[in-house]
Amino acid sequence: MVGVAGAKDLPAEPSEQEFRLGLRSGIILCNVLNKVYSGAVPKVVESPCDSALVLDGAALSAFQYFENVRNFLVAVQEMGIPTFEASDLEQGGKSG
């Protein structure tokens, strides 16, 4: 449903842990919601094309996670759709 982002961030048949890890940046969550409800998440922090160009990839990744997941959860709550806690994405995965 999310096109290239899904292929890049997730294997074709992800395990539960790989699926959860692929969702952690929030990009896939925001893109899927925007495809179903156009413009539901107005601001999606995309990852740069070449991570070697980013001086502090860890800082971008943390910012991306908090911003995208927060924006996704706010949009879902405003729509009245059952949601989850951001910490649910961490359960079972290893944080790097």
What digits encode the pLDDT tens for the residues 25-72? 788 889 899 999 999 999 888 765 544 444 555 555 777 778 889 999
Instruction: Record the pTM.
Output: 0.68
Binning pLDDT at 50, 70 and 90, where does residue 14 land? confident
Displacement of CA 21 from its chain's centroid (Å): 9
Query: Rounded to whole angstroms, what are the CA distances from 31 to 20, 52, 53, 55, 96?
Result: 16, 24, 24, 26, 24
Give the pLDDT confidence score for residue 50 in this predicted structure. 46
User: Tens of pLDDT along 83-93?
Assistant: 888 777 766 54
Contacts with 64 (C-beta within 8 Å, 6 or more apart), sequence order: 25, 26, 27, 45, 47
Residue 94 has a pLDDT of 47
Residue extents of the structural domains in the chain:
4-89
